[in-house]
Amino acid sequence: MMDLESLNPYEILDVDPRATVAEIKRAFQIALKTYGPGHMATASIFTEEQREQILNKVHEAYNMLMDPERRRQWDEILRQKGLFPVEAEPPPRPREDKEPPIPLAISRPRVLELQRKEDPAEKEEKDRRIRELVEEARAKGQWSGAILRQAREIRGLTIEDVAQKTKIGKGHIRSIEEDSYNFLPPDVYVKGFITQIAKTVGLDPEVIVPPLMEKVRRTRGPK
């Protein structure tokens, strides 16, 4: 299993190396909310010890990227490894007087609007089709990230909709749907991602998460 120490600061905050200071601040606030003890979506996923470990790394990554000199050092390490986007500009220096304030409230996700306006009969038909997906996967013993994609498409949601609702990066969602797990964060993160995606597309996490996490472990192999 991968560990948190294997991630660079950008991966921990799920931001691009070209991210602005404002984007890093927003990602930091989202991470604090997502992995804090009051977040309903992750309350049953992580132990207190795991929360503390993740939040410590989030704070460490944030402090590192907000320090211009330490950020430049990390960027140089990534360049040497060929992991820094070649078209990226040097990171901007923190300018508190120039950065827009972090919003205190997040606008209502479009996915909620879609769900609220849905016709009851249409919703029941979608629920039936999704139940059939689960029953087929269970009968064949074949579980993959494709079931998340199929359920999402049945719901009429885009990857952008799911990303907006869950605050998970679009690239991470796409990788999970395609069973491309090797370059995702540690298993503890992936478990949380799969749980939130499943809830958003109307799948039962208690049914979906265990077999998909088993596939994650088989795909990654021992670390």
Model pLDDT, residue 35 = 77
Model pLDDT, residue 53 = 83
Model pLDDT, residue 41 = 56
> Which sequence spans correspond to the domains of the chain?
4-80, 110-220
Q: Tell me the three state secondary structure of residue 168.
A: coil
- Joined together, the tokens standing for residue 213 give 């996490």
Provide the whole-model pTM: 0.53
Model pLDDT, residue 210 = 92
Architecture of domain 110-220: Orthogonal Bundle (1.10)
Model pLDDT, residue 63 = 92
- The answer for residues whose C-beta is within 8 angstroms of residue 11's C-beta and 6 or more apart is 185
Cα 164 from chain centroid (whole Å): 10
- Joined together, the tokens standing for residue 13 give 């905050």
CA gap 172, 194 in Å, rounded: 10
Model pLDDT, residue 134 = 93
Model pLDDT, residue 45 = 65
Cα 93 from chain centroid (whole Å): 27
Model pLDDT, residue 46 = 67
Model pLDDT, residue 39 = 62
Q: Which residues of the chain have pLDDT under 70?
A: 1-4, 38-46, 84-118, 222-223
CA gap 123, 115 in Å, rounded: 9
CA gap 178, 176 in Å, rounded: 5
Could you say which DSSP state residue 89 is in? P
Taking domain 4-80, whether its CATH number is 1.10.287.110 is answered by: yes
Model pLDDT, residue 97 = 44
Model pLDDT, residue 153 = 94
